[in-house]
Structure 1
């Protein structure tokens, strides 16, 4: 056996070192890719979780807003307005067309009072008189000043319009305005539409 070929040993060592370096670099890149993949998966999962949380919060907020809105309009929806016209025709007696007036009953069917109650007719006229229906047997027959400052829970107040000739009545349909116990001003027209009156709106 002859002496070792030391001329090939450095070459062998260099090749082994290059192979080890390559293997190390490969493992490093593989590990980094694995870490990046795990981070990306974590980010995707966190993003999905945050989207779910955001959606749940939005649903909860929408539900809370709906509940708050329902509470806000709950009393107003329990205020009822019933109305009809009444009067007589004097054509045969006096040669005129007679007169008519609106009779409007405002019933507070809620558990709280309503305030500053006004019934208007058309754009110009307010109620000529008001009386509490439950007070018809009292000495003052339940008469109330207009506008009515307060209608307690469970009470009904009857408003009457001025007296007009019959053709004028339909042009001056009634509308109810009142403030609920939470301080919100409402308008209820003769077609059943209920709407909030803006704070700076005329009442």
Structure 2
């Protein structure tokens, strides 16, 4: 048996130490990767959860907006305007417009304009009814101020235009303006188009 080669022992010890260090570094890196993966999965789950929560909130907001919008339009959609052209060549032509409020609350600032240049010439209190009478009249003993300050629930008012030529009457169709119980100003034209109007529209 030959003498012990001491020169190999330090090499062996150094190699063993390097292997241990490498294994420790590998385990450390693996542990860090595992932790990083767990953190990434947690972040992904939280991101997905937050996305679902955001979508739910957006849906809830949309539903609330829809409910609020329906509530906003609810009374205005009940207001009815019945219009009828009247007149003759000798007497001139014009419009009779009856405004009905079948809702459970009053409306205010009720006014009928004709075209963009004419306002109603007269307004009268009118008994509530379900449809426009066949033979309207534009006379009454107790005219109302224009605009009509308050038109109560289940009440009606009648408006009469000036008298013009047939062409002028045809080109100046009626538009109703009123303010609902919530303070929103509305316009309803002769074709039944209901829109939110400026606060001072029709006045």
Normalization by structure 1: what TM-score?
A: 0.85
Structure 1: how far apart are the matches of 2:141 and 2:202? 31
Could you tell me which runs of 5 or more consecutive residues in structure 1 were left unpaired when the two chains were aligned. Answer: 91-97
Structure 2 stretches of 5 or more lacking a match? Answer: 129-139
Contact map agreement 2:185 2:201 (CA 8 A) in 1 = no
2:69 corresponds to which residue?
69
| Secondary structure in structure 1 of the residue aligned to 2:75 | helix
Change (3 A) 1:144 1:12: same
Match of 1:108 in 2: 101
C-alpha change, 1:67 and 1:47, in structure 2 (3 Å) is same
**Deviation >6 Å, runs of 4+:** none
Structure 2 partner of 1:124: 117
Measure how far apart 1:6 and its partner are.
4.1
**Conserved in 2, the CA contact under 8 Å of 1:108 and 1:153?**
yes
Partner of 1:42: 42
Q: Report what 1:164 is aligned to.
A: 164
Across the aligned residues of Structure 1 and Structure 2, the Cα RMSD in angstroms comes to 2.1
Counterpart residue number, 2:173: 173
8 Å contact kept, 1:109–1:153: yes
Secondary structure of residue in 2 paired with 1:144 = coil
* TM-score normalised to structure 2 length: 0.85
Higher RCO (C-alpha under 8 Å, 6+ residues apart): 2
**How many angstroms apart in 2 are the aligned matches of 1:102 and 1:146?**
16
Q: 1:19 matched to which residue of 2?
A: 19
